Amino acid sequence: MTTQNPLQGFFREPKLWTNIPSQGRYYNDDVLVMPENGELAVFAMTAKDELLLRNPDALLNGEAVISLIKSCVPDVKDPAKLLQNDVDVLLIAIHGATNETIEVSAKCTKCKEPNTGLIRAEDLLTTMQIIENEYKFTIETGLEVTVRPYTFASAIESGLVQFRNTQNLTHLGDIEDDIERIKAFSNSIRDMAALEFNLLCDSIASIKLPKTDDEEIIVSDRAHIREYLENCEKEVGKKVLAEVTEINKLGLDKKSKLQCENCSTDEEPFFYETLVELNPINFFTAS
């Protein structure tokens, strides 16, 4: 027989509520159950969440962030399928629900001395931009391409490949044989190229053929889109990459101003601009 926990009345409650850049329009209920008011309830981190964020392997493969979002934003069912833009906002909101303020550190652009300041998470959330339902453009051949932002899963894959390549390049000097060293370097370059191409393929939601008297044809099959990108002119890929890069910037204005104590005077304080770093490795554990 299951008995009710007498401590249930002391469980954590939501600390703040937030919208997300996509407004939930890119997901079904298996990924996100969006409340009618469009605002997600955000809980503070638990001790278990914080311990997982200190696990290097869990941070590297994304499991720490996935677990954190599931714990602190219960309406999110499958965080890996969220857009990276939405994940950035949720990380800020979770930090705000846990600590209210975010510590920002950066070297002065003038004297190069480090400075630290605090900004309110809720103030940063007010800078959020909304992502449109879809983004389309037409190329010279008449094809209409619909693109979408990167998902968190794509960002995890990108991070893992970059980490492995950084490790491999760091150890290139340990390889005595010149041929083997060149081969290792070439493999790293090839892996990065393959990653960029995979991200390019994943960023295309569909391609619509030029209109004719016949039935409208829209291609969304991943294999067909990949085959097209492997056989089209490079300008198409460059255009897709440029469009997606701009979309991925939408979300939060991560700019922040810090005052340099060394360069400031009573009459004239000196401020410089920096970016809020959303890397979970130090974003949560440093506060």
DSSP, residue by residue, 3-54: ---TTGGGS----EEE--TTTTTT--TTTB---TTS-EEEPPPPHHHHHHTT
pLDDT, tens only, 47-68: 999 888 888 878 778 889 999 9
Computed over every residue of the chain, the mean pLDDT equals 87
Share of the chain above pLDDT 70, in %: 93
Q: Band the pLDDT of 284: cuts 50, 70, 90.
A: low
Q: Any idea which of 58-67, 125-134, 159-168 has the lowest mean pLDDT?
A: 159-168
264 in any annotated domain: no
- Calculate mean pLDDT across residues 144-172: 80
149 and 241 fall within a common domain: yes
Same domain as 30, residue 95: yes
Q: Are 38 and 14 members of one domain? A: yes
Residues 6+ apart with CB under 8 A from 211: none
Backbone φ and ψ of 265, nearest 5°? -125, 170
Helix or strand run (H / E) with residue 272: strand 271-275
Are 149 and 244 in a shared domain?
A: yes
Same domain? For 153 and 236 the reply is: yes
Q: Are residues 94 and 174 in the same domain?
A: no
Which residue range forms the structural domain that includes residue 20? 8-105+118-129+276-283
Same domain, 101 and 198: no
User: For position 177, what pLDDT does the model report?
Assistant: 73
- Whole-number pLDDT of residue 249: 83
Q: Is residue 245 over pLDDT 70?
A: yes
Tell whether 92 and 163 lie within a shared domain.
no
> Does residue 265 belong to any structural domain of this protein?
no
Tell me what the mean pLDDT of segment 118-131 comes to.
90
Q: Does 192 score more than 70 pLDDT?
A: yes
- 200 and 176 fall within a common domain: yes
Is residue 278 pLDDT above 60, yes or no?
Answer: yes
CA distances from 206 to 28, 132, 217, 224, 225 (A): 18, 16, 10, 10, 8
> Is the overall model pTM greater than 0.85, yes or no?
no
Task: Report whether pLDDT(287) > 60.
Answer: no
Cα–Cα distances in angstroms (integers) from residue 155 to residues 68, 151, 165, 202, 226, in the given order = 16, 6, 15, 11, 19
pLDDT of residue 59: 77
Q: How many domains does the chain have?
A: 2
The SS3 of residue 253 is coil
In a domain, 255, yes or no: no
Tokens of 5: 């926990």
48 near 68, Cβ under 8 Å? no
Query: Percent of the chain scored above 90 by pLDDT?
Result: 45
